[in-house]
Structure 1
Amino acid sequence: MMNCPECGHAAHTRSSFQVSNETKERYNQCTNIECGHTFVTHETFVRSVCHPQKISAAPPHPKGMQNNLLINTDPPLAGFVRLVPP
């Protein structure tokens, strides 16, 4: 959300498009019905605060256990899933 540069009320984004990998152009409209100012802003990436660590892919699920799934419908654990040993 951005404030209208004309009257100071809140302005909402009506549409936007990616100008580059680091910049987005937004078309905004003031929510003040007596103003209704429409204006363009640019949202630009400046810097990273914290870089994510390298993420390892999760190993695939083991095959052959798919038929051992049982849904418990007895209280007090109604709705919980329990694995039945093979």
Structure 2
Amino acid sequence: MMHCPLCGHVAHTRSSRYLSESTKERYHQCRNINCSCTFATHESVARVIVKPGDDIVPAQPHPPENQHKQSAAAL
């Protein structure tokens, strides 16, 4: 979430695109109906705080929503 550079109200992300592997450009729109300013920001990786070990194992995907409800009901 960003704040509008003109009026200071909350601005929501409307869309985004990667400019590089570590930089994303986001397009925001102010939620103040009297302003509605649209602006772009750049988000980038500044530094890595903690680096994982060499053996990174991908996490399993979450089950589909309907499977989750069925298994929870069985408990």
* Structure 1: stretches of 5+ with no match in the other structure: 58-78, 81-86
Moved over 3 A (4+): none
Query: Which protein has greater RCO, CA pairs closer than 8 Å, 6+ apart?
Result: 2
Aligned residues with identical type, % of pairs: 53
* Structure 2: stretches of 5+ with no match in the other structure: 58-73
Task: Say whether 1:33 aligns with 2:33.
Answer: yes
Quickly say closer, same or farther: Cα 1:9–1:56, change in 2 above 3 A: closer
Quickly say closer, same or farther: Cα 1:3–1:55, change in 2 above 3 A: same
Letter in 2 for 1:6: L
State the partner residue of 2:48.
48
Q: What's the TM-score, normalizing by structure 2? A: 0.72
CA distance in 2: counterparts of 1:2 and 1:36, whole angstroms? 13
Letter in 2 for 1:52: P
| Greater fraction helix | 2
